[in-house]
Amino acid sequence: MCKRVQFKQHMSTYHLKSLEEYFVNYRKSISKPEVFWGEIAEEHFLWRKPWTSVCEWDFDKPEIKWFQGAQLNITENCIDRHLLTRGEQTAIIFEPNDPQESAVHITYNQLHEKVCKLANVLKDQGVKKGDRVCIYMPMIPELAYAVLACARIGAIHSVVFAGFSSTALATRINDCSCSIVVTSDGSYRGQKTLDLKAIVDEALQQCPSIKSVLVAKRTENPVHMETGRDHWLAPLMEKAVSDCKPEIMDAEDPLFILYTSGSTGKPKGMLHSCGGYMVYTAYTFKNVFQYKNGDVYWCTADIGWITGHSYIVYGPLANGATTLMFEGVPSYPDYDRFWEVVAKHGVNQFYTAPTAIRALAKESLEHTKKHDLSSLKVLGTVGEPINEEAWHWYNDNIGDKNCPIVDTWWQTETGGILISPIPFLTPTKPTYATLPLPGIRPVLMDETGSPIENNSAQGRLCIAQPWPSIARSIWGDHQRYKDTYFSAFPGYYFTGDGALRDEVGYYRITGRVDDVIIVSGHNLGTAPIEDAINEHPAVAESAIVGFPHDVKGNALYGYVILKETGADRNTENLKKEINQIITEHIGPIAKLDKIQFTPGLPKTRSGKIMRRILRKIAHNELDNLGDTSTLLNPDIVEHLIENRL
Ligand code: 7RM
């Protein structure tokens, strides 16, 4: 079945077991990254051909290559190689939205069969290596099968979160010209049912590249099936052959595209490649969660985000882990659902977002007390800075002060976790992501663009050298990749985040320094939201800023200038219409919590909106608005303050 490439034997540490070992490995990873990653890659993965060089990089071009010349298939590493040793072990536990419906345990043997069958269905539909496949699905097992089936045949998956609107879906399908969509008839989210297929149908009116649509059955609600284009997935899988030879991929062949918002209107299709992504997500999964054989691991993210790609699917499966996929929401049927699921499946590692923690912390503690949470060993958070209060609530009530909290900082662009404590090794500190993982060299930049050497400092967070899972490009726009990440600080990868480093060298990520706002852990670019609002016939111009929100982390505050003819309209109705347009263009997640109508916006002479001022007004920080003398229209500031919400 699998042919293992013979390497000479080394002794590397794949699994870090003491703080001392972490420091030794960290130093080695920085001084000799090629030796460090070369040894880990050799010992712990299945390659069809060895590499000729571990890493070649140039941040000026920029060009980054890991394990060049090597060949592999990531699904052989995530599935096939486990079949001899743990074929009957559960790979995926599927926990449905409705707790009355039984959970499903999918073994590695079954996963192999399903992925192979779906891979063969894709092939029958004409999908070939390098083709783009859009996956727009709820959190059901078919979503994991579809992702892995693409990887099996070398097709590039582009998973679009199933909460996105038809317009957002169409934009993403068209950007990388997908030839096929895999979706479902509908999805369950708490008490709601969503007609996913209807959203796909609407999107496809604008997507000429799509030749076929595969539809998984979930809700059984009636859907339109376009003859010649749409096919039910189940009967095709039923008929398909249950073995499919893995496509042998070059380490640098693309594995997937995942879109993330940018500060200009268009989403960025971050491109990840096979070899480095596999090595880094597997290594970080093992260490950041200290996963042991037999453990049950649960990440509550959706596979539509990078967290789900790296730490529900690829990282855990590459380690032969048992990973739980949850279809539902934390509040259904009640606010104890997470804890009920933890107790029911004996979850050992639990990974969620601060926004979920804050939402649950608002509810009665009875919800947590009702369930036996003693199986938990490690708690994780990701997606945004965690505030002190939420950190302690999580630590006290979920971890019983007995489970280290790993505050993991990373991005869609980084592919895997870059800064995080290693549980039981790194002493944790509330709100701090603490120390860089092996291979990661963080640098703080001062105002002048120079690296800050000392501790107890604050600056813009850059990374000085590549790690295996850094995104290689933006699909179809390498120039934008360069401009966004490698131009602000030449020779460095710029994260877009601000951070501070304490007296011992621990990092705390303070938040975005660009125009991306994180609402409930979702990255929202202000530009696409403004573009959407401006489509309203009564709207002349708009500007969005974030303001602190005790559950969502940040919420959106919109300043809207109406056209002359719009100014006489009912503002309550206008607010509803504006949020409706946002819902249609982006999704309900991007709705504005506050809308202030204004005759003008503070602008510089070159016409740039001074968001700094708008942010301060939205935050109600009025005593120090900074320099307003460069404004074209300084009078507007008083007006905005008087009418603030
Ligand atoms: C994994 C993910 C990336 C942005 C990132 C940060 C913020 C993520 C943390 C965090 C503080 C954290 N990918 N962020 N994790 N901020 N502490 N532990 O979220 O591409 O969707 O977002 O999220 O601003 O740049 S993402």
d(CA 555, CA 548): 6
d(CA 558, CA 446): 31
Structure tokens that stand for 371 in this block: 């369930």
- Decide if pLDDT at 265 tops 80: no
Rg of the chain (C-alpha set)? 24
Contacts within 8 Å (CB) and 24+ apart, 393-401: 393/357, 393/361, 394/357, 394/361, 395/430, 397/361, 397/365, 397/368, 398/339, 398/350, 398/368, 398/373, 400/373, 400/374, 400/376
401 in Cβ contact with 428 (< 8 Å): no
| H helices present in 205-263, as ranges | 233-239
> Which residues, including other chains, have CB under 8 Å from residue 640's CB and lie 6 or more apart?
559, 596, 598, 602, 613, 614, 617
Q: What is the pLDDT of residues 295-354, one digit of tens each?
A: 999 999 999 999 999 999 999 999 999 999 999 999 999 999 999 999 999 999 999 998
User: What pLDDT sits at residue 605?
Assistant: 65
322 in Cβ contact with 296 (< 8 Å): yes
Residues facing residue 250 across a β-bridge: 71
- Decide if pLDDT at 177 tops 60: yes
Three-state secondary structure call for residue 46: coil
| H helices present in 32-82, as ranges | 33-44, 74-78
300 in Cβ contact with 338 (< 8 Å): yes
Count of alpha carbons within 13 Å of 363, Cβ hemisphere only? 17
Instruction: Take atom 7 of ligand 1 and give the residue whose Cα is closest.
Output: 384
Helix axes 611-618, 635-642, angle to 10 degrees: 20
User: What pLDDT sits at residue 523?
Assistant: 80
- Decide if pLDDT at 619 tops 70: yes
Task: Tell me how far CA of residue 12 lies from CA of 17, 119, 419, 423, 557, in angstroms.
Answer: 12, 35, 21, 20, 51
User: What pLDDT sits at residue 472?
Assistant: 98
Closest to 149 in 3D by CA, of 202, 193, 223, 214: 214
How far apart are the CA of 516 and the centre of ligand 1, in A? 11
**Residue in 159, 307, 410 to alter for ligand 1 test, most ligand atoms within 8 A of Cβ:** 410
Q: Do domains 106-250 and 520-642 have the same CATH topology?
A: no
Query: For 7-18, what is the mean pLDDT?
Result: 77
d(CA 314, CA 272): 13
Domain-wise residue ranges, the chain? 106-250, 520-642
Tell me the pTM.
0.89
Query: For 166-182, what is the mean pLDDT?
Result: 96
Structure tokens that stand for 188 in this block: 């369950």
Atom of ligand 1 nearest to the CA of 411: 13
Query: For 96-120, what is the mean pLDDT?
Result: 98
Q: 470-480 in b/e burial notation, b at 16+ Cβ within 10 A?
A: bbbbbbeeeeb
Q: Are strands 473-474 and 507-512 parallel, antiparallel or unpaired?
A: unpaired
| H helices present in 137-195, as ranges | 141-153, 166-175
**Residue in 161, 509, 513 to alter for ligand 1 test, most ligand atoms within 8 A of Cβ:** 509
494 in Cβ contact with 462 (< 8 Å): yes
Q: In what order do the strands lie in the sheet with 268-273?
A: 230-232, 212-216, 180-184, 132-135, 156-159, 254-260, 268-273, 473-474
Three-state secondary structure call for residue 226: coil
d(CA 328, CA 336): 12
> Which residues, including other chains, have CB under 8 Å from residue 454's CB and lie 6 or more apart?
none
- Decide if pLDDT at 607 tops 90: no
d(CA 4, CA 73): 12
- Decide if pLDDT at 261 tops 90: no
Residues facing residue 194 across a β-bridge: 187
Residue 628 burial by CB count (10 A; 0-12/13-18/19+): exposed, middle or buried?
Answer: middle
Atom of ligand 1 nearest to the CA of 511: 24
Q: What is the mean pLDDT of the chain?
A: 94
User: What pLDDT sits at residue 78?
Assistant: 98
- Decide if pLDDT at 367 tops 60: yes
115 sits in which H/E element: helix 108-124
Instruction: Take atom 22 of ligand 1 and give the residue whose Cα is closest.
Output: 411
d(CA 180, CA 229): 9
Q: How far apart are the first and last CA of the chain?
A: 65
**Residue in 303, 411, 514, 520 to alter for ligand 1 test, most ligand atoms within 8 A of Cβ:** 411
User: What pLDDT sits at residue 622?
Assistant: 86
Query: For 572-590, what is the mean pLDDT?
Result: 94
pLDDT band for 606, please (50, 70, 90 cuts): low
212 sits in which H/E element: strand 212-216
**Residue in 261, 268, 409, 519 to alter for ligand 1 test, most ligand atoms within 8 A of Cβ:** 409
Q: What is the CATH number of domain 106-250?
A: 3.40.50.980
498: left (phi over 0), alpha (psi -120 to 50) or beta: beta
Atom of ligand 1 nearest to the CA of 516: 24
Residue 374 burial by CB count (10 A; 0-12/13-18/19+): exposed, middle or buried?
Answer: exposed
Assigned fold of 520-642: GMP Synthetase; Chain A, domain 3 (3.30.300)
pLDDT band for 1, please (50, 70, 90 cuts): very low
How far apart are the CA of 323 and the centre of ligand 1, in A? 22
How far apart are the CA of 412 and the centre of ligand 1, in A? 8
Three-state secondary structure call for residue 293: coil
pLDDT band for 53, please (50, 70, 90 cuts): very high
> Which of 534 and 230 is assigned the larger pLDDT?
230
pLDDT band for 13, please (50, 70, 90 cuts): confident
Task: Tell me how far CA of residue 498 lies from CA of 104, 434, 507, in angstroms.
Answer: 42, 14, 10
